[in-house]
Chains A and B, each alone.
Chain A
Amino acid sequence: MRIYVPCDSSALSVGADAVARAIMAEISSRGLSDVTVIRNGSRGLFWLEPLVEVETARGRVAYGPVTPGVVVELFDAGMLEGKPHGLCLGLTEEIPYLKRQERLTFARCGITDPLSLSDYIAHGGYQGLKRARTMTPEAIVEETVQSGLRGRGGAGFPTGIKWRTVLKTPASQKYIVCNADEGDSGTYADRMIMEGDPFVLIEGMTIAGLAVGATQGYVYIRSEYPHGFRTMRRAVEIAREAGYLGPDFDIDIRLGAGAYICGEETSLLESLEGKRGQVRPRPPLPAVEGLFGKPTVVNNLISLATVPIIFDRGAQFYRDFGMGRSRGTLTIQLAGNLKYAGLVEKAFGLTLREAIYDFGGGTRTGRPFRAVQVGGPLGAYFPEALLDTPLDYEAFAEKKGLIGHGGVVVFDDTVDLAEQARFAMEFCAIESCGKCTPCRIGSTRGVEVIDRIVAGQDRARNLELLNDLCETLLDGSLCALGGLTPFPVQSAVHHFPEDFAKLKV
């Protein structure tokens, strides 16, 4: 008999450890010898965390949100048999929020014990690698191209095409680098996989290694994720002990040091090499001259963690999901002011409105919706009128927005978009790597100009100045930090001009 209590850091942040301890205490005080507590990842229904599940003959039954104080009562009510209680949510798989999803990349997350290799394998793990091992590198690359998988780190570049370049570049050493810097506010999918299903990333990186002829991988994890870092490091040790990593392909786990720019792939490579995280000019592409000057695949964690299911089920299976040129599923991360914020893995094409209302349940504060920022700090702010935009790379680009890593941050009517635009400029100034003048200096000027606009000084002229600054950033930036900061700024001005027109005290 098993009880599941998540060890995902969001679950921990609302007391999952205390709940686990209370449950263990209750098990021992009742002398139940056949009950095991498993610390699983999160199902991603965060408003229900800590979400406790028990295994029953009917399937797993969920209770949540559980507090330590209610544990005795739950045992008395017959939680171990999946009996009713005010906190009982029924069969986990039948919870509509989960049932309406298409969980491919997240097929196991929240179900298995993240650090149990046997659990991983029992739930379909390593099937993709098994098949990839029977294929030539060219065939692996071709399968990845055919799947339609595009990079989930932000730019949406076809993963197979990137791999093809690395495969075709001869070198004595090649690398697979997983970008787990996940700096965008509103995103946590990488973290959930590291904490909830780390072996899927290891498997994906191993397949990538086979595809391009790389024998060494690195996972670069942001330091804001201490739990993810530890789980990942432990998972690599376990995989190595079991012979899944070794001389043919091995992985080293590295820690970032609190720089948003190190999510940009060339800055990340500099950082891995032990340098300041400054962006490299390109060409050369990292695929040709990457880590330590060698051909390198740099992929987002979700891109790599999606590879195993593509090889397990086939490229066609994967590409059958989605719309237009956005194939497969998007791991939408609902965040901010929402009642039901959580992970929604769905085929591309869900509209923002469906994400925010059908899944997210509207604002948590109960106040009217006002704005949504999709794609992290460099993403545009959209008003109500754009909520019918489908989550699809091209549809978003058409509306001057971006999907980025799939974060959706919702704001109610208390938001001030001039403040948000100011923050975008401030953030650019704080995180600039310093290489380009517009990004390093222009961003601080941007903050000042917005302050003047808000203070009502020469409003028309300063709005024009702000626009000019944005154009300079667009044209004069080596990377998208400077180059895309105009997105949140200009979208705020364009869609919410009233916030720049009222005099503030």
Chain B
Amino acid sequence: MELPRIEGERDNIFLTSSNPTWDPARALVRIRELQTLPGALLPILHALQEEFGYVDDAAIPLVSQALNLSHAEVHGVITFYHDFHREPGGRHLLQICRAESCQSMGCNALVRHVENKLAAKLGETTADGAFTLKPVYCLGNCALSPAVMLDGKPYGRVSEEVVDFLIDSARRM
């Protein structure tokens, strides 16, 4: 039997990297793996973000050269998409849905609660570098609103108590 997902298994798509230090050699390995794909730019940017937790500006020349694009084009793509971060984020990424379905179940109050608790606004990283807080417009968990995602793991029907528990547990990790 295959158990496709185990709790605690970290999901790489959003994650803060285990080794966030920028390293051109590691970056080039990831770029070379993907550069021959048709439309390789997004897959490469996702891979870099997975590797380092963000896309360092120093990656732009490497990517430009690999894909034969101008620096401006690569820069333009990085800045267009909400997902790509140009600075290292916190150790944990907390995404709070603030789209309509979650609004109907009080997500705006939940956002205020979390902002107060972490002393950081949506889009910011806490002073101790533990959490980056981001708004998200729908996690597809709308039957169990309000919803959040912590380090790629979904949570539904999230009350203030639940989000406190999630934050406190993550902090201890």
Contacts and interface: CB of A to CB of B under 8 A. Distances in A.
Contacts of B137: 183, 185, 260, 377, 427, 430-431
B101 A186 contact: yes
B42 A377 contact: no
Interface in B1-49: 1-7, 11, 13-14, 37-43, 45-46
A185 B102 contact: yes
Interface in A338-396: 338, 341-343, 364, 373, 377
Interface stretch (A35-43, A306-314, A323-331, A459-467): A35-43
B105 interface: yes
Mostly, the B contact residues are loop
B22 to A, nearest CB: 20
Interface of B: 1-7, 11, 13-14, 37-43, 45-46, 67, 73, 76-77, 80-84, 95, 97, 99-105, 136-145, 147, 149, 152-157
Contacts of B5: 7, 12, 17, 39, 227, 230
Interface of A: 7, 9-10, 12-14, 17-18, 20-21, 36-39, 44, 46-47, 49, 114-115, 182-188, 190-191, 223-231, 234, 252, 254-260, 271-278, 292, 333-338, 341-343, 364, 373, 377, 407, 409-412, 415, 420, 423, 427, 430-431
B101 A409 contact: yes
Given A224-B139, A274-B77, A10 B144 contact: yes
A185 B138 contact: yes
Given A186-B101, A226-B11, A427-B137, A39 B145 contact: no
Contact of B1 (A37, A183, A271): A37
B52 to A, nearest CB: 16
A184 B13 contact: no
B104 A411 contact: yes
B81 A415 contact: no
Contact of B42 (A18, A257, A338): A257
A423 B103 contact: yes
B104 A337 contact: yes
Nearest to A262: B81
B156 A14 contact: yes
A335 B152 contact: no
Contacts of B46: 223, 255, 257
B145 A9 contact: no
Contacts of A226: 11, 13-14, 152
Contact of A274 (B40, B95, B140): B40
A258 B41 CA distance: 15
Contact of B81 (A185, A277, A341): A277
B101 A185 contact: yes
Nearest to B95: A224
Contacts of B37: 252
27 contacts: A10-B154, A12-B153, A14-B156, A18-B7, A36-B1, A37-B1, A46-B156, A183-B137, A185-B99, A185-B138, A186-B99, A186-B142, A188-B140, A188-B141, A223-B46, A230-B11, A257-B42, A259-B80, A259-B82, A275-B77, A336-B142, A337-B105, A337-B145, A377-B100, A407-B101, A407-B142, A423-B100
Contacts of A10: 140-141, 143-144, 154, 156
Mostly, the A contact residues are mixed
B77 A276 contact: yes
Given A229-B13, A335-B143, A409 B6 contact: no
A42 to B, nearest CB: 9
Contacts of B41: 274-275
Contacts of B82: 257-259
Contacts of B83: 223, 256-258
B62 to A, nearest CB: 15
A496 to B, nearest CB: 15
Nearest to B69: A274
Most buried by A among B46, B101, B144: B101
Nearest to A372: B104
A17 B6 CA distance: 6
Contacts of B84: 257
B67 A224 contact: no
A335 B154 contact: no
A11 B37 CA distance: 34
B4 A255 contact: no
B4 A115 contact: yes
Given A12-B154, A21-B7, A234-B4, A254 B142 contact: no
